[in-house]
Structure 1
Amino acid sequence: MRPFLIALGLALTFQPASAREQVDVTLVLAVDVSRSMSTRELEIQRDGYAAALAHPDVIRAIGQGAYGRIAVTMFEWAGRGSVRQVFDWTLLESSADAQALSEQVRQSQPVPQRRTSISGAIEHALTRLKASPWEGFRKVIDISGDGPNNQGSPVLEARAKALGQRVVINGLPLMTSDGPGGGFNIDDLDAYYTNCVIAGPGSFLVPVTQWDQFPEAIRRKLILEIGGLVPEQPVVRLAQAFDFGSPRASSEPYDCLVGEKIWEQRRWIFDEP
């Protein structure tokens, strides 16, 4: 056999597997369903995500990307290990795709669970990103929550893992006061998310103080994440870290273990007699 034919055969034999299809962003929606939220709040949250996914402005943002498509998955979370998948990785590149996914979300029934493990949610989201069949030019975790981390590893450790894997974390702190478990929440949840949760280039959060703000907040957040845009203050609050290095030190240190400390002070409420 001629040498060049042998070389060609070897090249074909050892050709690496085809790379995953590229998308503009692989996006994980991590949705808080802890019992500190009422049934009504869980329904508003579910319907807000369903409406946002199919909104014309969101579809337009997807179409304006370099690839014109994104991949998204969604799960509910509460305490450590309390995770329920709402939908698996799904490719969105048309209005029909988005409408079908929106209806799937709308038909889901949130299942409330005990405790709040933001660190567990971040770690699960990182696992989901590794399992994506698509390769995102950007990798983003979008995490909502109505209280600080009070179970699992410290949230700073989970955030460091995300930064090490070049993953951006954006936040949607739910700063409402009509849920049944407010005793374990904090008044400055937006500051907690800024200092302890969100990180990466252009990372941001959108605080929600009234539930009627939620549909617009999640729609705006999705548009920014899909487009890789850096929002302007004061509409949203930017993270203090804009790169994948160590987060910048705040002029006033923030206690990122505040949730764990509140739990230790008040856990007797749930202790057996």
Structure 2
Amino acid sequence: MSDFEGLVAIVTGGAGGIGLATAKLLTSRGAKVAVLDLETEGLPDDVFGVRADVGDDARVEAAVEAVVERFGRLDIVVNNAGIPAVGDVATNSSEEWLNVLNVNVVGMVRVARYALPHLRRSPAASIVNTCSIVAWAGHQTRTLYSASKGAVYSLTLAMATDHAREGIRVNCVAPGTADTPWVEKQLQGTEDPEAARESLLKFLVPGRLVTADEVAGAIAYLASPLSSASVGMMLAVDGGQHSLRLRPQDQQHLIGR
């Protein structure tokens, strides 16, 4: 496919995981891609790396301008940068709350704010925010992270409403438990990583983790000019994790009420 031919995209948090998979996919489909991340070493040769911290206004503004200076335009923003948090409401300090919300929510605001003047000149402007199914599905020990992603969902809907008539589409993807470095780190931090993985996979409907490439495919769908009718969407990529409930094999004959 070449639906992104001639378009320029920014992917934040694009040096690894879902962001890197997205950068590679958009490039393969014709886009010129710039990755904004804290570290940009090891990126593919055809991806433009810009060191930036989405938690810092000045660095975000400078990074966006560096991309436009290099490519002459900006059409697509993938707001993917984010940081995790584990714990219930009593676990995380006030400082951690402020830091996570600053990166996961206000970071997206910063990038969108400085991208808007350039997106308004694009014939195919699109913003895709990386949300999560924990925005609307309660998961244990994810209070802070869930709150940040719930804010991302609300932010997406509000932005979509504000900018739809300017020709700027805003949507979000909501991954389930994905095969990313963060999830692997969480598993390795348990007493028995293999047992923890087996328990997790039993909880997941397909019996496996969502892949970074699958999430990237959903991001590309929403960002593509071919999806011009998709506005204000939340696209779940979770293997049915939120909406489906499978019984154990020996209980499939039971009918719930």
Greater helix fraction, Structure 1 or Structure 2: 2
Which has the higher Rg, Structure 1 or Structure 2? 1
TM-score (norm 2): 0.44
Relative contact order (alpha carbons < 8 A, sep ≥ 6): 1 or 2 greater? 1
